[in-house]
A and B are shown apart, each in its own frame.
Chain A
Amino acid sequence: MIISVVSGKGGTGKTSIAINLALALEEGQFLDCDVEEPNAFLFLKPEITNQMDVQVSIPDIDTVLCSGCGACVKACSFHALAQAGNKILTFENICHGCSACWLVCPQKAIKEGKRSIGFIEKGQVKSLECIQGELNLKEPSAVPIIKKMKTLIDQKKTIIIDGPPGTSCPAVEAIKGSDFCLLVTEPTPFGLHDLKVVVEVVKQQGIPCGLVINRSQGDDQIAEEFAQKENLPILLTIPLEKEIAQLYSKGIPFGKVMPQWQHKFKLLLESIKAGDAS
């Protein structure tokens, strides 16, 4: 079973919830798919056993064979190629690796090349397998890394995915194929605004979902009204509490050292797995 934790708005507490949920697992996998700024390993502190490169395809042009006909430039839907005189210019950051250019080249002057855009690290904390992706600086697309991470999923296990913020391609890629989405929000107008968008995306994918309200100060009406309207069950409410914030700042998952929360995360996980949470 795959459980994804997403929020739309950044900074609502996705990673906190995801790692506490992962620690409540007897055995399973944890994937930090927020590859533009992964931070779950700061809390889980796994021993890294494995690192792998993530590469994407790019055109590799043989300038001797190239006749400068420009067929590749016309074939590129992403404007990653240009022709200046007889010279073909390649813009690797814009290339989507679609292979059109080397397929259309009448001179067979283009072959498929590769370039690295980031890496994936694997580690272990007891019986929890931890996987984290990291996109290199200045790279525009996180999607290939998330795709590669998801090939490492062992469907027989319970998998917790810490998703990226937002609702663009990386977030969609992260939640794709999930059996359940846990939506984390804060009871503020900003939290609600982005929650609305993420609910739309999750529902469009047909994934059952439930809500966690984080940093509650007692009055959660703004989130509760929306939850009621959308038929979203509120599965957990976490108060704005100094002890939780202090533990976070030290890189300690609060569910690990506060027994009452450890218990609540176990119950939450059980109800999701039993299908009672949506």
Chain B
Amino acid sequence: MKIAFSCSGNDLDAMLDPRFGRAANFLIVDEDTLAYKVISNAAISASGGAGIAAAQSILDEGVETLITGNCGPNAFQVLNTAGVKIFTGQSGQIKGLIEDYKKGVFTDSIKEATVQSHSGMGKGL
């Protein structure tokens, strides 16, 4: 199963980016083999609809689980409709988060967006 992480780096040592739609990259990791692929987030500089475009790009990779910091309403709607499980409120290195995931730490996927639209646009946050 493929897990997507929002991040600024491009390997398993990368730190999780708390933003989803405006994250620099997504690391798509195969849970079983730990093989990974980096996709750069083309929506990072989109004038609008970044969450939707970012969600679409990870769906196109066949992702079933997303681990990130926060998720806005539009991205949530796209991912939720596709049945992707979303775990938010996370931070730290991706390799540590994968271990946690395998230990079964992540049990409560979100049932609604955790932030409003445009929260990842860096107004001094």
Listed in ascending order, the chain A residues whose CB lies under 8 Å from chain B are: 73, 78-85, 87, 89, 91, 94, 140
Q: Indicate if B74 sits at the interface (CB-CB under 8 A).
A: yes
Cross-chain contact A79 with B50 (CB below 8 angstroms): yes
Stretch of B3-11, B27-35, B51-59 lying at the A interface? B51-59
The answer to whether A79 touches B53, judged by C-beta atoms less than 8 angstroms apart, is yes
Contact partner of A94 (CB less than 8 A), chosen from B52, B59, B81, is: B52
- Interface positions of B from 54 to 78, Cβ below 8 Å from A: 55-56, 59, 74, 77-78
Minimum-distance CB pairs A-B, first 3: A79-B49, A84-B82, A84-B81
Given contacts A89-B77, A89-B81, A91-B74, contact A83 B49 (CB under 8 A): no
Q: How many A-B residue pairs have CB under 8 A?
A: 44
Which one of A78, A85, A87 contacts B49 once the chains associate, using CB atoms below 8 Å? A78
> B residues bordering A, Cβ < 8 Å?
43, 46-50, 52-53, 55-56, 59, 74, 77-79, 81-83
What would 15 more interface pairs be, CB under 8 Å, given A82-B55, A85-B83, A140-B48? A78-B47, A78-B49, A79-B48, A79-B52, A79-B53, A80-B52, A84-B59, A87-B81, A89-B77, A89-B78, A89-B81, A91-B49, A91-B74, A94-B48, A94-B74
Q: Which residues of B contact A94 (CB under 8 A)?
A: 48-49, 52, 74
The CA-CA distance from A226 to B52 in the complex, in Å, is: 44
Bound-state CA distance A94–B82 (Å) is 20
- Chain B hits for A78, CB < 8 A: 47-49
Assess the A73–B81 pair: CB atoms within 8 A: no
Q: Determine chain B's interface SS by DSSP, over half rule.
A: helix
The closest CB in chain A to the CB of B80 belongs to A84
Tell me, in angstroms, the Cα distance from A73 to B59 when the chains sit together.
13
Q: Are B56's CB and A91's CB within 8 A?
A: no
B59 touches A91 (CB 8 A): no
Residues of A within 8 A of B79 (CB): 84
B51 to chain A, nearest CB (A): 8
5 A-B pairs, CB-CB below 8 angstroms?
Answer: A78-B49, A79-B43, A84-B82, A85-B83, A89-B52
What A residues does B78 contact at CB under 8 A? 82, 84, 89
Q: Which residues of A contact B55 (CB under 8 A)?
A: 82
Which A residues are in CB contact (< 8 Å) with B43?
79
Least distance between A72 CB and chain B CB atoms (Å): 12
Q: What residues of chain B lie closer than 8 Å to A73, measured between beta carbons?
A: 56
B82 interface neighbour in A79, A80, A85, Cβ under 8 Å = A85
Contact A79 B46 (CB under 8 A): yes
User: Shortest CB–CB separation between residue B59 and chain A, in angstroms?
Assistant: 7
B48 A82 Cβ-Cβ under 8 A:
no
CA distance A62 to B77 in the complex (A): 20
A89 to B50, CA, bound (A): 15
Q: CB-CB < 8 A to B82: which residues of A?
A: 84-85
Complex: A94 Cα to B74 Cα, angstroms: 10
Q: Give which listed residue, B46, B48, B56, B74, contacts A83 with CB less than 8 A.
A: B56
